[in-house]
Amino acid sequence: MTDPLLASDPRHLGGIRLLGRLGAGGMGQVYLGRTPGGRLVAVKTVHEHLADDPHYRERFRREAAAARAVTGAHTAPVLDADPDSPVPWLATAFLPGVTLGRAVAAGGALRSSAVRALGTALAEALTQIHAAGLVHRDLKPSNVLVTADGPRVIDFGIARAVHRQALTETGAIIGTPGYLAPELIAGDGPPATAAADVFALGAVLAFAATGRNPFGTGTVAILLFRTVHEEPELSGVPRASGLRELVERCLDKDPEARPTVRTVLRALRDPRPPLWWREEPVRSLVLADDPVPEPQDAPPPTVREAVREPETGPIRPWRGRAVARRGLLLAGGGGLAALFGYALLRPTPHGGGSGTSWDPVVRTGAAAGGSRWSLEPGSGEVDALLVAGAALLVHGTDAAGSSSGVVEARAGADGAPLWQRKADGKTSGWWGTSDGLLLAPDLGLPAVALAKGTVRVKKPQLAPTLGWFTSAGGLLLDSYAQTSSEWRTRATDPATGTVRWTTPPGPATVAPAVLGDALLLAPVPGTSTRVRCVGVRDGVERWTYPPTEGVLAVCALPDGFAVLTTTGKLHVIGADGRTVRPVQPLAHLDLPAGSTALAQSAGKLLITAGNRLYGHDVRAPWSRPTLGLDASWPKRLGGARAPVTGGGLLLHWRDAGTLEAVAPATGGVRWTAPVSGGVAQVPPVVAGPLVYAAAGSACTALRLTDGRALRSWKLPDRVSELAADEAGWYARIGKASIRAYDRPPV
C-alpha cells in the first residue's frame, strides 16, 4: 500500500519533498526528504492518533522549540518544524555516518589523543545543549554520530527542559543503563541536571578508551545496581595527561563532586587535535565507500536511487549508500528520542503480549544469483534470527523500539510460516535451543516446543531482573534478583513449569558452567569471592572454592572447570572441587570486563580479551591479534559467548577485513582470507564444509579446509546478523529484512 505522505503536496511540509520512508517508531514515521535547495533532511512525523492528543502536541511544540535553539559544530541542527500541521513534523539535518559504538567495534578502542579530541567535541556539544536550557539525559555511544566532519551529538533534549516539568510516565526511568547517572535511578531522586550529562560523558569516554562499558554488561537490574553501588571498571583508561583522573571525577556518585562541562572542556582541549575519524577503519565506515548494487532479485528502486549526489570536498564523501536501512543513524536532536521511541526502564510483563501489527511479506522464486527468498516486515522491525534444524526462527517487533512483537518459525527452504507466538521484550541475543525447545525467557517465552510452537511453561514467573539462563539435565536454569543485592538461582521443569529447587539469596553470578550434573556458580566481581558447585537436579551445594579475587568468566573442561579472575589468574578445578593444576598467573594479559570470554576447544583454554586471542596451557601458550569479542565470538544460549569452530579449526576475524583459521592446540595459522565489502562486525558461521563471512554489506562463502573463496554476494545494506545451515545461509540486513541464499557448490 502506498504511503499517502509520500504523495503529499510538499507545501504541507515547508516545501520538503519526501523521497522515501526510512523507518518507524512507536510515536511516528521517519522519512528522507529534500529541501527546495537540495539539502537532504530527516523528516519526522507524528502518528495521527497522537496528533489528536493536545497533551502530546504541546509536548512536541515545546521540545521542537527548545531544540531549534541548540547550535554548534558538534550537534545536529533542527532545520524546521510545524507542530500545528494536521500531521506535526520536524526536519533535522541528515548526516550519514556511524555511531561511536560501531566505530569502536570495528577499529578498537581509540588512542588517548583521540579520546581527548572526542571528549572536547562532546563537551562543546553539551555546552550548547545546556545553554538552550536542555539536559540530554541519554548521552551514550549510540547517540554520538561519527560523520565525515567529526563527531556529532544527536537526540538531545530527550525528556525535559531544565526549567520545565517533564511529560513522562510516573515511575519511569528515562535513559540507558550504564550511562544513566546514579541520582536519576531512584524514582524519588532529584531532577536531571547538567551533572547527569557529565556522568554520561565520563562513561562514553571510558567506552571510547577501552572498548567496553565502564559498568560491564548484563540485565537492566544488574547495570543499575552497579551504577549505584559499585565503582566503574577503568583499568584500560590511559592515565596520560590526566585522562583517567578526569573520567573518574566525571563518574563520581555525588553529582556535586563532578566537574562542570566547562571544566572538562578546559582539561581536554588540545591545540592540535587529531582528525581520528579520517583514519582507517573508521574512515571507510563513515564514508561507506562504493554504493552496493542491488542483487538480481531486487525489488523496484527505493530511496537509495533517489539520493546519490556528486562527489565534493577534499575527501571522498558519502554517496548515498543504503540510505533506507542504515540503522536509522539520523542526526536528529531536540527531544526526538523522547518522541520517537526512547525506552522506559520499567518492569515488562511476560507471558503473552497484547497483540501485534507484525505483518511480514515473503518473496520467493528469486532469479539466479539472487536470494532464495526474502522477508520484510510490513511494519516494525526484524530484531533477530536463529537457525533451528530445518527452520529459521525470527523475532520481530511492532515498531522501532517496541517491546511488543512475535517469535515465529519459518521454513528454511522457502520462508513459509510454520508457527507464531506473541512475545514481549526486546531480545538481547540470549535466546537459543536445547532438547527440542526454544528457550527465550527475556522474550516471555521460557520454553517453546520447536516442532509446533506450543508453550511448555504457561505461567512463567520471570522478572526483568533476569541475570542469565541456561539448560542442563532437561531443566531450565536461571538467575534472578530477589532484591537489588540478593539473587537466586533456580531450576524449572520446562514440561510443567514446576520449580524443582531454588538456592538461598546470594550475590549475582556470572554466566555459569555446566559439567554433567554439576553447575558452577561464580559471583560477579566486587560481591564475593566464593565459587560454589551445586547439583543440577537438586541444587544441593557440593563444594566451594575460594579464589582471592573477583571472577570474570568460567567454563567447563572435560574433567573440571576453569575460572578466570579479574587479576589475570586462571584456576583449573577438578569436578570434585580439588585443584587439578596449579593456579596459572596471566598477569601479562589485559582482561577488560565485558570484552573478555573464556572457552575450551581441542583441549586448549581459549581467551578473548580486548583485541587479543589467547590459547593457554602449561606447555604451549599462544596469542593472536583479533578484532574482538563481538565480531568473532557469537552469543549462544543465555548470552554466553563461544568461539566459532569447525573441521578442527578456530575461525575469527584477525582484523576488520581478514578472516583467519587457527589450529586451537598450537595457535598455528592454517589460512587467512581477505574479505571485501566493508568492515567485519558479525562472527563468521560454519555450516558443513563451508564458512560464511560477512563484512559490511557483502558476504563471502569460503571452503573450510583451505579458505578458498567460492562466491561473494552483495546485499542492499550492512549485514547485522548471520546464520547458516546445510542448504545455505541467512542474513539479517539491519532491522529491515532477512534474506536467504543457496549454498554454492563446494
- Which one of 1-15, 284-298, 660-674 scores highest in mean pLDDT? 660-674
Instruction: Identify the three-state secondary structure at position 243.
Output: helix
Domain end point (choices 408, 437, 464): 464
Q: How far apart are CA 542 and CA 376, in angstroms?
A: 51
Q: How far apart are CA 480 and CA 215, in angstroms?
A: 19
* Least confident span in 278-282, 413-417, 552-556: 278-282
Q: What are phi and psi of 315, to 5 degrees?
A: -125, 160
The total of other beta-carbon atoms located within 10 Å of residue 109's CB is 23
**Which pLDDT value is given to residue 129?**
86
| 703 assigned to some structural domain | yes
- Which one of 347-356, 464-473, 566-575 scores highest in mean pLDDT? 566-575
Q: pLDDT tens, 86-108?
A: 888 888 877 778 889 888 877 78
The total of other beta-carbon atoms located within 10 Å of residue 619's CB is 5
**Residue for grid cell 537459543:** 432
More confident residue, 564 or 337: 564
The total of other beta-carbon atoms located within 10 Å of residue 92's CB is 25
- Where are the extended beta strands (E) located within 127-233? 144-147, 150-153
More confident residue, 311 or 430: 430
pLDDT band, very low/low/confident/very high, at 167 (cuts 50, 70, 90):
very low
DSSP 102-152: HHHHHH-SPPHHHHHHHHHHHHHHHHHHHHTTB--S--SGGGEEEETTEEE
Instruction: Identify the three-state secondary structure at position 716.
Output: coil
Instruction: Identify the three-state secondary structure at position 702.
Output: strand
Q: What CATH number should be reported for the domain holding residue 453?
A: 2.40.128
Among 618, 615, 600, residue whose Cα is nearest residue 666: 615
Is residue 55 predicted with pLDDT exceeding 50?
A: yes
Q: How far apart are CA 362 and CA 382, in angstroms?
A: 13
Instruction: Tell me how many domains the chain contains.
Output: 2
| 18 assigned to some structural domain | no
Distances (CA, A) of 115 to 89, 153, 211, 635: 36, 15, 11, 29
Is residue 162 predicted with pLDDT exceeding 60?
A: no
Q: What CATH number should be reported for the domain holding residue 745?
A: 2.40.128.630
**Which pLDDT value is given to residue 220?**
73
pLDDT band, very low/low/confident/very high, at 306 (cuts 50, 70, 90):
very low
Please check if 604 is assigned to a binding site: no
Average the pLDDT over 338-353 and give the result.
33
Q: Which three cell numbers stand for residue 293?
A: 548494487
Cβ atoms of 473 and 512 closer than 8 Å = no
What pTM, to 2 d.p., does this model score?
Answer: 0.59
| 530 assigned to some structural domain | no
**Which pLDDT value is given to residue 395?**
92
Distances (CA, A) of 420 to 80, 406, 407, 630, 698: 43, 7, 6, 29, 30
Q: pLDDT tens, 490-523?
A: 998 887 888 999 999 888 888 999 999 999 999 8
CA angle 169, 170, 174 (to 5 degrees): 60
Query: HEC profile for 551-602?
Result: EEEEEEECCEEEEEECCCEEEEEECCCCEEEEEEECCCCCCCCCCEEEEEEC
> Across the chain, what does the average pLDDT equal?
78
pLDDT band, very low/low/confident/very high, at 160 (cuts 50, 70, 90):
very low
| 68 assigned to some structural domain | no
Q: pLDDT tens, 260-279?
A: 999 999 899 887 888 888 88
Q: How far apart are CA 213 and CA 659, in angstroms?
A: 26
Cβ atoms of 121 and 127 closer than 8 Å = no
Among 506, 640, 517, residue whose Cα is nearest residue 576: 517
Question: Which percentage of the chain shows pLDDT scores above 70?
Answer: 78
CA terminus-to-terminus distance, the chain: 42
More confident residue, 739 or 610: 739
Q: Sheet of 391-397: strands edge to edge?
A: 381-388, 391-397, 404-411, 417-424
**Which pLDDT value is given to residue 619?**
67
Q: How far apart are CA 743 and CA 728, in angstroms?
A: 4
Q: pLDDT tens, 385-400?
A: 999 988 999 998 876 6
- Which one of 28-37, 170-179, 560-569, 584-593 scores highest in mean pLDDT? 560-569
Distances (CA, A) of 437 to 450, 457, 489, 640: 5, 11, 21, 18
Instruction: Identify the three-state secondary structure at position 194.
Output: helix
| 538 assigned to some structural domain | no
Is residue 238 predicted with pLDDT exceeding 70?
A: yes
**Which pLDDT value is given to residue 97?**
80
Q: How far apart are CA 70 and CA 80, in angstroms?
A: 13
Average the pLDDT over 340-362 and give the result.
47
**Which pLDDT value is given to residue 192?**
79
**Which pLDDT value is given to residue 308?**
28
**Which pLDDT value is given to residue 377?**
87
Domain end point (choices 464, 495, 516): 464
Q: Which three cell numbers stand for residue 188?
A: 524519588
**Which pLDDT value is given to residue 454?**
87
| 6 assigned to some structural domain | no
**Which pLDDT value is given to residue 567?**
79
Q: How far apart are CA 444 and CA 464, in angstroms?
A: 10
More confident residue, 739 or 405: 739
**Residue for grid cell 521460557:** 446
Average the pLDDT over 139-158 and give the result.
79
Domain that holds residue 667: 620-746
pLDDT band, very low/low/confident/very high, at 401 (cuts 50, 70, 90):
low
| 436 assigned to some structural domain | yes
| 183 assigned to some structural domain | no
Domain end point (choices 399, 433, 464): 464
Q: How far apart are CA 325 and CA 307, in angstroms?
A: 13
Among 440, 392, 396, 405, residue whose Cα is nearest residue 735: 396
Q: How many helices (H) and strands (E) does the chain have?
A: 12, 44
